[in-house]
Amino acid sequence: MNTRSPIVVGLAIVLGIALIALSILYWVEPASSLPSIIPGHEAGSSHHHVKHGIASFLLGVALLIFAWFQTGKKDHADKTAA
């Protein structure tokens, strides 16, 4: 699991933050106010996609945890089973 590629780690951090930001958008904005490129956009709908927000948040946190492990000390990573 320890690929230690800076590109992979960078992508995980950027995507993780973006997904957490997206989750906040899902929670605070009704479906009609979401940008049309985002899944869940419905014109005229006042529904809040709470579950989409939770899914997005969990995925974002998972990516940040992945990046956290990947950027750990090398000597410890060598001893890990993951």
55 CB contacts (<8 Å, ≥6 apart)?
23
Rounded Cα distance between 13 and 56, Å, is: 14
**Token output for 68:** 């956290």
Per-residue contact track with other proteins, 30 to 59, x per CB under 8 A? ---------------------xx-xx--xx
Candidate ranges 5-13, 17-25, 28-36, 67-75; the one touching other proteins (CB under 8 A):
67-75
Rounded Cα distance between 49 and 55, Å, is: 10
Q: Taking CB under 8 A as the rule, does residue 1 contact other proteins?
A: yes
Footprint on this chain of other proteins (rule: CB under 8 A): 1-2, 51-52, 54-55, 58-59, 62, 65, 68-69, 71-73, 76-77, 79-82
